[in-house]
Amino acid sequence: MALGKGLSKGKGKGLAALIDTENISPKGKDAASGEGVVMMNISKVEPNRNQPRKTFNEDALQDLAESIKQHGVLSPLLVKERDGYYEIVAGERRWRAANIAGLKEIPVIIRDLSEQEILEISIIENLQREDLNPIEEAQAYKRLMTEFHLTQDEVAEKVSKSRTVIANSVRLLKLSENVQQMVVEEIVSAGHARALLGIEDPEEQFVLAQRIIDEKLSVRELEKIVRNRGKEKKEIKKKASQLENVYKDIEDKLKNRLSTKVCVTGKEDGSGKIEIEFFSADELERIIDMIGK
């Protein structure tokens, strides 16, 4: 089975080609593939530790568990046989809710899949349900690129998104860890996070992220602050460059006047210092005498 081709046809089509959860035949077969739906002891099924999704809404799980108590698990999980257990490829949320509901058995379809196929299916399933937070989504795309040496264009084709969406998503991983966690916890939105990418300094990113909360800044307001900070830094650099030229001119004049090495340094607040070198007591007296004149 050429999984990669199926996944690249479009969002939803790739996953449906692997597991048709809506049309299970009366004989217990997966209508899309003809493979059997098996009732399996839930204790034999374990989640994929490397799956993209790390956070689950507890209230939503409770709601799903109540539904499962009444109607059962309507869509089978997709699993891969491992050494002594079956690993979930798609359907961890249903598995968690089934555990909460106290089920002893759960319907599964067993497939022999490569590690890349497992990751692709996990990403697509979560994207379809909008279950991934922006950081989890970015990390998933990054894994496809680093672990399986895919380009952004190839990742975009597999998950049926534009290359720009993939690129902008992965860029979120350039944020400081503190800010990334704020995105995960939904304290800071993805729009705010993208605006913060205009700030390179991690500490400054975090300070601005806290301002978003304290001042209830909109994305547009934050973008304006980031733009203005950029202008301020340019002005500071420009002023510093101008001062350096002034100090250099003063150094040259003092060197010629005192006939010794002179160093003039300044700070952003306008303060600074002048260092004059001397190599003997006589030379020191000469310099003091010239300054006095």
Could you report the per-residue pLDDT of 39-57, keeping only the tens digit for each?
999 999 998 888 777 778 8
Longest CA span, the chain: 109
Domain boundary among 111, 143, 174: 174
In this structure, is residue 192 part of a structural domain? no
HSE of 89, CA atoms in CB hemisphere, 13 A: 24
Residue 272 tokens read as 């600074």
**More confident call, 276 vs 235:** 276
What is residue 55's predicted lDDT score, i.e. its pLDDT? 78
Say whether pLDDT at 224 is over 80.
yes
Question: Would 194 be classed as within a structural domain?
Answer: no
Q: Is 284 in the same domain as 170?
A: no
Q: Do 131 and 252 fall into the same domain?
A: no
Tell me which amino acid residue 234 is: K
Whether residues 100 and 163 fall in one domain: yes
Q: Which pLDDT score is estimated for 271?
A: 78
What percentage of the chain reaches a pLDDT higher than 90?
41
Q: Is residue 191 part of a domain?
A: no
Helix spans in the chain (H): 3-7, 13-18, 58-71, 92-101, 115-128, 134-147, 152-159, 163-171, 177-184, 190-196, 202-215, 219-258, 281-292
Tokens describing residue 80: 């891969």
Task: Classify residue 244: in a domain, yes or no.
Answer: yes
**pLDDT digit string, tens, across residues 190-214:** 999 999 999 989 999 999 999 999 9
State whether 44 and 159 are in the same domain.
yes
* Whether 135 and 227 share a structural domain: no
Q: Is residue 200 part of a domain?
A: no
In a domain, 198, yes or no: no
Q: Which domain holds residue 131?
A: 3-174
Task: Indicate whether 32 pLDDT > 70.
Answer: no
Q: Is 130 left (phi over 0), alpha (psi -120 to 50) or beta?
A: left
pLDDT band at 23 (very low <50, low <70, confident <90, very high): very low
107 φ, ψ (degrees, to nearest 5): -75, 135
Residues 237, 118: one domain? Answer: no
Same domain? For 16 and 107 the reply is yes
CA distance 156 to 162: 5
Residue-wise DSSP of 181-209: HHHHTTSS-HHHHHHHTT---HHHHHHHH
What spatial distance separates the first Cα and last Cα of the chain, rounded to whole Å? Answer: 94
Average confidence score pLDDT of the chain:
81
pLDDT at residue 18 greater than cutoff 50: no
User: What integer is the mean pLDDT of 219-232?
Assistant: 85
Which H or E run includes 218?
A: none
Give the orientation angle of helix 115-128 with respect to helix 134-147, to 10 degrees: 160
Which of 141, 174, 207 is the endpoint of a domain? 174
Bigger pLDDT: 245 vs 110: 110
227 shares its domain with 158: no
Mean pLDDT on 174-180: 94
Is residue 46 a contact partner of residue 85, using CB atoms and an 8 Å limit? yes
- 197 assigned to some structural domain: no
Query: Rounded distance, CA 227 to CA 241, Å?
Result: 21
Q: In terms of domains, do 153 and 242 share one? A: no
Residue 188 lies in a domain: no
In this structure, are 123 and 238 located in the same domain? no
Residues 277 and 156 in one domain: no
Chain-centroid distance, C-alpha 177: 9
User: Which has more confidence, 251 or 138?
Assistant: 138
Name the token pair of 32: 């899309």
Which pLDDT score is estimated for 273?
84
Give the per-residue pLDDT at 283. 81
Q: Examine the domain organization and report whether 236 and 104 are in the same domain.
A: no
The domain spanning residue 155 has which CATH number?
A: 3.90.1530.10
Indicate the number of domains in the chain. Answer: 2
pLDDT digits (tens, 9 = 90+) for 77-123: 999 999 889 999 988 889 999 999 999 999 999 998 988 888 888 88
pLDDT at 132: 82
Say whether pLDDT at 28 is over 60.
no
The predicted structure's pLDDT at residue 265: 80
For residue 16, is pLDDT > 50? Answer: no
Distance between CA atoms of residues 55 and 257, nearest Å? 71
Q: Could you tell me which of 57, 111, 120 has the C-alpha nearest to residue 87?
A: 111
Report the interhelical angle of 134-147 vs 177-184 (nearest 10°): 120
Give the pLDDT of residue 6. Answer: 38
**Helix (H), strand (E), coil (C) string for 263-281:** EEEECCCCCEEEEECCCCH
Going by the DSSP 8-state scheme, the letter that residue 22 receives in this structure is: S
By DSSP bridging, strand 45-46 and strand 86-90 are parallel
Higher pLDDT, 276 or 129: 276
Q: Look at residue 74 in the predicted model and tell me its pLDDT.
A: 87
Which residues are the active-site residues?
92
